[in-house]
Structure 1
Amino acid sequence: MRFGSRVVTVVAVAGFAVLGLAGPALAHVEVSADKTTAGAENVTLTFDGEAESDDAGIASERVVLPTGIAPSAVTLVKAPAGWTFTPTADGFTVGGKALKAGVDAVWKVKIAKLPDGETRLSFKTLETYSDGEVARWIEIQEQGKDEPDNPAPLVTLKPGPSTAPATSAAPTSAAPSVEPSAVATTTPVSAEPADDDGGSTWWIWVIVVVVLAAVAGFVLLRRGRSGSTDA
């Protein structure tokens, strides 16, 4: 019985020791997005800074924005009561009266537009406690590798929709441009025959006059001959 109780005690102590070591490692600053496509607009990011101190509360969170997101494109949506939002040269800070020890810091910001062509956005974060301790969550998580000890909050995005190349309408627009010129060239041609017909009728009248004159001459000639015979 004593041996069994000792085994149970050793196992329990070892278990608590493991939990004690694992506790701080589980405290992270995490971030999630309501839209997870590259290039998306008006995206709300929710940050969750997990408290890791039993004696001090979180007083502020300083976030460094990834390339492609300007501080001017970020606005505050929600933060702990009494906290304020302050843009910085490379990101922003939310902070104010320290939270109670053990209370997580949760805040939300809106991004006007996520970068195009980026699928992994890291938000380096410095978490400051009321006792001056600073937890630096700034190590970049690389794809395919183990998570570092102090990982920066990461948002994984889907690629944005590809833009289909525009088709050229030049070949189709060239055909109509030929047709009007063809119509224009036929217009004066169709008008010319009317002028020719009107101007060429004079010779018909000349022939008629010549024929009538010949007939009249022939008739007069016959009469003259018949008159001389009678005499």
Structure 2
Amino acid sequence: MNVSRIAVAGGLALSSVALLSGTAFAHVSVQPQGEAAKGGYATVNVKVPNERDNASTVKVEVNFPVDHPLASVMPQPVPGWKAVVTKSELAKPLELHGKKITQAVTKVTWTSDGAKIGAGQFQQFPLSLGQLPEDTDQLVLKAVQTYDNNEVVRWIEESKEGAAEPQNPAPVLKLSAATGDHHGGGAAADDKADDKAGHDDKAAHAEAADSTDTPARVLGVVGILIGVAGVAFGVLAGRRRSA
């Protein structure tokens, strides 16, 4: 196999990896900032990537399950976006901190107020949630994404265990075991998160150093080999002249 064929094969392999990576990370998802514990409160990010090269995202809707209602859902202001919280009457009132709650948040809608999510970009929409339910391991937050060309993508398909991932999977918030203070973690969890962040940062620096050192070491070895070859060639040339 000549050099050109190797280059073509390498290019195809890299293109395949890029396509697969883009597909895997192009879904709307929800990611907790810390721990989302049953019975507690949590701050999460709704991560919305733009999948189109010829259109921008101008509207995002996130729907909350009515079978596991949340009494409190508060969006953090995002520059260039207007957030609207929709509440609905509950068939069965909730008891929260000794108070009876008759309404729950069923949807949060972000609409462009000057900002857009362009091609090759993503936007995070922070939410404060609580009180999280104690009778389920996850919350399915179905989302709807609207583009400025009026295309609508519905991220509402629920994944099933043992089955392939659906084309438009719904975002899922995993819930961990309940904590004693019902605040989704507390100071101890924050300390652990800080320690983990510090450890990950050190590991990232070490990995970066290794990745930087590796090419340098390879080049150094190549340089040494070239030098040795040059010396050997010089010695052989000298012997031939002597002969």
TM-score, normalised to structure 1's length?
A: 0.59
Identical pairs, percent: 28
Map of 2:46 onto structure 1? 47
Is residue 159 of structure 2 the alignment partner of residue 160 of structure 1?
no
Q: Distance in 2 between matches of 1:88 and 1:136?
A: 21
Distance 2:173 2:23 in 1: 22
Cα distance in 2 for residues equivalent to 1:60 and 1:88: 19
Output the amino acid matched with 2:138: R
CA contact (8 A) 1:57 1:103 kept: no
> Using the alignment, how far apart are the partners of 1:88 and 1:126 within structure 2?
17
- Structure 2 gap segments, 5+ residues each: 89-105, 181-243
- 2:130 corresponds to 1:131: no
Aligned Cα root-mean-square deviation (Å): 2.6
For the 8 Å contact 1:49–1:104, the answer to whether it is kept is: yes
Partner of 2:22: 23
What corresponds to 1:221 in structure 2?
none
3-state secondary structure, aligned to 2:178: coil
Aligned mates of 2:148, 2:87 — CA distance in 1: 21
2:166 is aligned, of 148, 173, 179, to 148
CA distance in 2, matches of 1:115, 1:49: 25
For structure 1, which runs of at least 5 residues remain unmatched after alignment?
163-231
Amino acid at match of 1:132: N
Shift of the 88–7 alpha-carbon distance from structure 1 to 2, 3 Å rule, reads farther
Relative to its length, the structure with more strand (as a share) is: 2
Report the TM-score, using the length of structure 2 for normalisation.
Answer: 0.56
**Higher alpha-carbon deviation: 118-127 or 18-27:** 18-27
Q: Tell me the matched-pair count.
A: 159
Higher helix share: 1
Rounded to whole Å, the distance in 1 between the matches of 2:87 and 2:119 is 27
Task: Judge conservation of contact 1:141–1:147 (CA < 8 Å) in 2.
Answer: yes
Matched, 1:110 2:109: no
Structure-1 separation of matches of 2:20 and 2:151: 19
Check whether the contact 1:86–1:94 (CA below 8 A) recurs between aligned residues: no
Distance 1:107 1:84 in 2: 10
- Counterparts of 1:22 and 1:35, CA distance in 2: 26
Q: Which has the larger radius of gyration?
A: 1
Is 1:9 the equivalent of 2:8? Answer: yes
Q: 1:141 to 1:79 in 2, by over 3 A?
A: farther
Q: Aligned partners of 1:137 and 1:82: how far apart in 2?
A: 20
Structure 1: which amino acid aligns with 2:128?
K
